[in-house]
Amino acid sequence: MARVFVIEDNDGLRETISSYLQLEEHTVVSFPRLAGVDDAVRMQRPDLLILDVMLPDGDGFLFARRLRATDRTPIIFLTARTAESDRITGFEVGGDDYVVKPFSNKELMLRVRAVLRRAEAPAASERVPSRWRLKEGAQELELDEDGHRCRHNGRNVGLTAAEWKILSHLAGNPSIVISRDRLLGACLDYLTDASERTIDTHIKNIRIKLDKAPWIETVRGFGYRFMGDRATDA
């Protein structure tokens, strides 16, 4: 099963989460603070981070933003912050899910399964080969489904698992308008508190990483459409 890092300063909560993860046969490494997490991520290569936002020695959002510069490990944020602006910040810095305290441990385990599943499995589309190249004017985008790798104009692009699923789903259905609700269901597997703003935030991040090239068009009132012509398989 997966190797999961739990970074939470509340001893009781950290132990409870670790116990539930171990019941699911995951290997758990726990931390009461951010100290040492950077080195552990580099050395142990976890499959998932469950990260508290407010820690004694730092801010989880800032840590995630820094980590995302070099690492794509999926992140589930834990926090007592309930404002929509905080949720959006969590996704903007590269989070894959956002769980508000207090929460059900069984629900958290469902979210863990969903995030790990997204990280492991390529987006489903019968029309998409394992590797392909797309063009839009002078822009070129290459996607490798098997390796979950993305290149834009010859440059490697680091996408989170959620961003990869969304981009792959849109690219696999070029010129078709896809609603936010459909993207939520097909790509993110989020539970009942998901917001369509979550999709907007991921799309914003994808556009930034693709240098704001015109790959994804917003169709107001409906959703998003991928622009670009399929070229030869990469």
Q: Which tens digit of pLDDT belongs to each residue from 45-72?
A: 999 999 999 999 999 999 999 998 888 8
Residues 99 and 140 in one domain: no
**Cα-only R_g, the chain:** 18
Q: Is 219 a member of any domain?
A: yes
CA distances (Å), 161 to each of 9, 73, 106, 150, in order? 26, 8, 22, 12
Same domain for 94 and 183, yes or no, is no
**Residues 116, 147: one domain?**
no
Q: Are residues 144 and 88 in the same domain?
A: no
Domain of residue 182, residue span: 131-230
Each residue's pLDDT tens digit, 165-215: 899 889 888 888 898 888 887 787 655 455 778 889 999 999 999 988 889
Does residue 125 form part of some domain? no
At 136, which CATH number?
1.10.10.10
19 lies in some domain: yes
HSE-CB of 133 using CA atoms within 13 angstroms: 10
Q: Which of 59, 85, 120 is the last residue of a domain?
A: 120
Q: Are residues 37 and 110 in the same domain?
A: yes
pTM over 0.85: no
**113 and 186, same domain (yes or no):** no
Mean pLDDT of the chain: 86
Residues 112 and 151 in one domain: no
In sequence order, which ranges of the chain are alpha helices (DSSP H)? Answer: 11-23, 37-44, 60-68, 84-92, 105-120, 161-171, 180-183, 196-209
Structural domain contains residue 126: no
CA distances from 92 to 14, 24, 39, 163, 205 (A): 25, 29, 24, 11, 7
- The answer on 162 and 106 residing in a single domain is no
Please give, one letter per residue, the 3-state secondary structure of 114-161.
HHHHHHHCCCCCCCCCCEEEEEECCEEEEEECCCCEEEECCEEECCCH
Q: Within 13 Å and on the Cβ side, how many CA atoms surround 15? A: 3
pLDDT at residue 230 above 60? Answer: no
pLDDT per residue as tens digits for the range 125-156 = 444 456 677 777 778 888 887 777 899 998 99
* Total domains, the chain: 2
